[in-house]
A and B are shown apart, each in its own frame.
Chain A
Amino acid sequence: MPCRTASRGPGRVMAQVAMVMNLDKCIGCHTCSVTCKQTWTNRPGTEYIWFNNVETKPGAGYPHRYEDQARWKGGWTLDRRGRLRLKAGGRLRKLLTLFYNPELPSLDDFYEPWTYDYESLTTAPLSDAFPSARPKSQLTGRDMRPVHGPNWDDDLAGAAAYAATDPDLEGLSEQVRMEFEQVFMFYLPRICEHCLNPSCVASCPSGAMYKREEDGIVLVDQDRCRGWRFCVSGCPYKKVYFNHRTGKAEKCTFCYPRIEAGQPTICSETCVGRLRHLGVLLYDADAVLEAASVRDEKDLYEAQLSVFLDPDEPAVEAAAERDGIPHDWIQAARRSPVHALICRHKVALPLHPEYRTMPMVWYIPPLSPVTDAVHATGYHDDDPDRVFAAIDSLRIPMEYLANLFTAGDTTVVEGVLHKLTAMRAHMRARQLGDPPDQRLLDSVGMSALDVEDLYRRLAVAKYEERYVIPRVHAEGSGALMAQHCALDYPGGVADQAAHDEDQLAAAPPSLPGFAAPGGGSQFRDSDGRVRFNLLGWNGTGPAPGLFGDGSTR
């Protein structure tokens, strides 16, 4: 099923590296957040910054109630004449509020980062009382009392005070609010959405933010950022942050150095639930504005789907080649798990499409609580109607999911949950040797092959099927980079042969610049000693200097 037939003929074709997260499998372990932080935001000034964070839903989120756009005015809106406008006001208003941005969340809306005075545990004088490590602010070094954190309401902790303030609960009927007392929750891992219509880029007065033409990654040019901080307030997902020490904006980079090397982002690579899928989507850049401007918010999901192009179509391929998309990228788009989940199976949904930024990290809504409800109501896979009847009385209110993923349109969410339920029923039947139930499949409009493909992607989820990332074409930069990094070793970025099509299916390449035997490299530490860099080490080769040069120990 193509996303859009090329009847009209695509406009400018662009490629986007996108992500789909299967919420069913997220266990809320925060591994993704921690590895992301270690990679990108473990410096002074970024203590409070989590490019990747995992929220418990329902919950207030990070920063506090960021989804309340009546307060923060992130994203886009339509003006009276139906034209797309930044919700926080026009260009002139931005310049006039340069010195005080009324929509900027303060550090207390994120949290004041702190550490503990661990040293006092070992240096405290002998006494009857146990020594304690007092919390110290990482901003000022003073004693502080932590009152808020990035995961303060993890696993519904303090739900009465926090979860009840979730903006997504607004508009839910009173009865659903009460049902919430019977507790439901799931995890929502969030990164920057690398939107097709990024309001952060549009809000930056300096023009320091940009979307990369080649892969759609949205980045901050820190050399041109002047610290006007409108990107922070302009992003409705609050995924641009202000480094309070350097005075510059920073944001999720989609791990572009890894993506360029054909490797998954660090959050995906380390995801314990193996629930993140990465791949290329081709889209019609000329159609984005129109799609983002559709009148009814509930049509935004369909509108965004209509922007994506089917790479199997000859017309799309021709247009893509015309617009300079490399052949191996088109090939990758065909094998893209993201394309399969978003366009073919239509089980992934965008987060808050009503912000009109056309987000590109999509989510498969969680089903797990459904099966419990299904069992509770006497599930029987002979009777698909009863399966779906059970879906209507879910623990997670359908309206709640719809507020998150479809601007409140429950029918779309329901359709996705039907597909996921049908997949389970079908696979269970196969497991038990029962004949496939054609009625069940017909009711969700999928063939047995489709369902099994979906099962393979979501449940088996092999590494090579989750991540199909074509390497960057950096032929031109090879000569420049050679000064410091050997890139033209076989399979390196500057190696022409590495860009052959069948390379896509090969094992992930080593990182450029880390070509030492065993995959690691050496570097000189700040104390002057030569140490071994574990990044890229394959675990078996020699690791000279891993513990320093030893002589001083």
Chain B
Amino acid sequence: MSAFDLWWWIILPYLALAVFVVGHIWRWRYDQFGWTSRSTQLQERLLLKWGAPLFHYGTFAAIAGHVLGILVPESFTRWLGIPEETYRMFSSIGGTVAALAVIIGVVLLAFRRTTVPRVRATTSPVDWLALVLLAVVIVLGIIPTMGINLLGSGYDYRESVALWFRGLFAASPDVSAIANAPLIYQIHATAAWAILAVWPFTRLVHAWSIPLWYLWRPYVLYRSRVPAHPTEPGTGGRRWRRIGVRY
């Protein structure tokens, strides 16, 4: 294991994870006001109508696929009696459907964000960074799914990338597994941990706010006026405003 591998596949990913966790705690605590989806449906609706649902539902499917593919060990599916061939067919087809949804969605959304002036105007620099990283992750995630596994000879990422990734959580990441994986998987994985590091500082935080509570709460809410500590004058209660909000 070279020093580079150590940095790239162990230290930086762990740092990214740490930033992810601490960053979220920090932002939750200090920037409730900036915690929003920052929807731009008001500014543009026709492209969003197709782009946003495709992208989001496609992403849900992709995340479910990753959980299956990476977090569930190969030994488990083998124990269930699912042969490797069947598994790979299933994951490729499912993955392809999800990938198509995500890619169409992302193309629509990226087109919209870069060319519709009203939408462009609302995008902060850190949003651009997150969007570029997302695009890298998605494109480089889809090429192997469709290209290598579906059309090509196939590559068993469950014996390489997945081992390293699972190992991160078990505190014993298998560096050689990822270091010997094809470059495309390496970049995909790199962009993925990079996203984790910027996640808490971007609009991506809205992912944690899917309002499931709405399904069973009463319709009309009442609150009483409670005494609250005054905020520092001139801050409107915000102790931090730069990130995620450009203004």
Contact = CB atoms under 8 A, between A and B. Distances in A.
Nearest to A225: B36
18 contacts: A91-B214, A92-B215, A98-B210, A107-B42, A202-B220, A206-B211, A210-B223, A213-B224, A221-B223, A223-B237, A224-B32, A226-B35, A226-B37, A246-B34, A247-B245, A476-B227, A481-B230, A483-B230
Contacts of B41: 100-101, 104, 106, 229
A29 B87 CA distance: 71
Contact of B36 (A95, A205, A213, A226): A226
Contacts of A484: 230, 233
A71 interface: no
A104 B45 contact: yes
Nearest to B57: A99
A211 B220 contact: yes
Interface centre among A101, A202, A227, A524, by most chain B C-beta atoms within 10 angstroms, is: A227
Given A95-B215, A99-B56, A480-B230, A140 B222 contact: no
Interface stretch (B46-54, B148-156, B165-173, B178-186): B46-54
Interface of A: 44-45, 86, 91-92, 94-95, 98-102, 104, 106-107, 137, 139-142, 197-198, 201-202, 205-207, 209-214, 221-229, 242, 244-248, 472, 474, 476-477, 479-481, 483-485, 524
B33 to A, nearest CB: 6
Contacts of A44: 247
Interface in B167-214: 203, 206, 209-214
Contacts of B42: 104, 106-107, 229, 242, 244
Contacts of A45: 247
B119 to A, nearest CB: 9
Nearest to A76: B219
Contacts of A228: 37, 39, 211
B224 A212 contact: yes
B236 to A, nearest CB: 9
B128 to A, nearest CB: 16
B53 A99 contact: yes
Nearest to A112: B118
Nearest to A477: B227
A139 B43 contact: yes
B67 interface: no
A106 B38 contact: no
B43 A227 contact: no
B214 A142 contact: no
A472 B118 contact: no
B56 to A, nearest CB: 5
Nearest to A202: B219
Nearest to A248: B36
A205 B122 contact: no
B50 to A, nearest CB: 8
Question: Which 6 pairs show the lowest CB-CB distances between chains A and B?
Answer: A477-B227, A247-B38, A205-B211, A202-B219, A223-B32, A227-B36
Given A98-B210, A226-B206, A480-B229, A244 B40 contact: yes
Given A101-B41, A213-B224, A229-B39, A107 B217 contact: no
A410 B237 CA distance: 50
A465 B49 CA distance: 51
Contacts of B230: 480-481, 483-485
A499 to B, nearest CB: 15
B147 interface: no
B110 to A, nearest CB: 16
B228 interface: yes
B3 interface: no
A458 B113 CA distance: 53
Contacts of B122: 244-245
Contacts of B55: 99
Given A91-B215, A100-B53, A477-B228, A242 B39 contact: yes
A100 B211 contact: no
Nearest to B227: A477
Interface string B219-247: 11111111111100110010000000111
B221 to A, nearest CB: 4
Contacts of B1: none
Contacts of A92: 215
Contacts of A211: 220-223
B37 A247 contact: yes
A248 B42 CA distance: 12
B121 interface: yes
A211 to B, nearest CB: 5
Contacts of B45: 100, 104, 106
B117 interface: yes
Contacts of B34: 246
Given A99-B56, A207-B211, A207-B221, 9 more contacts: A100-B49, A106-B45, A212-B225, A226-B36, A226-B209, A226-B211, A228-B37, A242-B42, A244-B122
A228 B39 CA distance: 7
Interface string B120-141: 1110000000000000000000
B37 A246 contact: no
